[in-house]
């Protein structure tokens, strides 16, 4: 399967790891849109939040826990945003479930 995030998990694609847990990986986005821009993914391939099945909820929980703990360890005291883009209209460009952790500048609303 040709999935860039699976390539990162397997070590075939270089990335800057921020957190490496049993079934969750966090790494820096290659094209950051904020001073802090980390991607948090389940290591196993799940295409998007729309594809999360009954057995996947534990890893979803752990990914969100990693997001919250990273916000603490990166000292994002002023706030941050967690984003999951889902599907083409949701702006998803990589078909492997991920959350963006964005911080370091004020975030606008509504999102683009
Ligand atoms: P999406 O648009 O699917 O919500 O987010 C995909 C994100 O993955 C984008 O922010 C994009 O910059 C990032 N990305 C795409 N390819 C790579 C890569 O090879 N390495 C890293 N670190 N990030 C990537
Ligand atoms: Zn994948």
Per-residue pLDDT tens digits for 7-59 = 999 999 999 999 999 999 999 999 999 999 999 999 999 999 999 999 999 99
* 91 pocket-lining for ligand 1 (C-beta < 6 Å): yes
Ligand 1: residue of 6, 19, 93 to mutate (most ligand atoms within 8 A of CB) is 93
- The one catalytic residue among 37, 96, 98, 100: 98
Which letter, b or e, does each residue of 65-76 get, where b requires 16 or more Cβ atoms within 10 Å of its Cβ? ebbeebbeeeeb
Q: Examine the residue annotation and report whether 98 is marked as an active-site residue of this protein.
A: yes
The structure's pTM equals 0.98
Q: What domain range is 40 assigned to?
A: 4-103
- If one counts the domains in the chain, the total is 1
Residue 110, preceding peptide bond in cis (omega within 30° of 0): yes
Residue 112 lies in a domain: no
Residue 14 lies in a domain: yes
C-alpha 102 to ligand 2 mean position (Å)? 21
């Amino acid at each position: 399967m040709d999935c860039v995030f699976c390539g990162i998990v397997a070590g075939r694609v270089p990335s800057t790891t921020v957190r490496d847990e049993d079934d969750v990986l966090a790494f820096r986005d290659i094209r950051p849109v904020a001073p802090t821009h980390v991607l948090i993914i389940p290591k196993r391939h799940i295409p998007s939040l729309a594809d999360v099945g009954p057995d996947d909820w534990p890893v979803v929980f752990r990914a969100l826990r990693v997001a919250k703990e990273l916000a603490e360890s990166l000292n994002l005291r002023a706030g941050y945003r967690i984003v999951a883009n889902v599907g083409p209209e949701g702006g998803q460009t990589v078909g492997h479930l991920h959350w963006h952790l964005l911080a370091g500048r004020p975030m606008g609303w509504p999102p683009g």
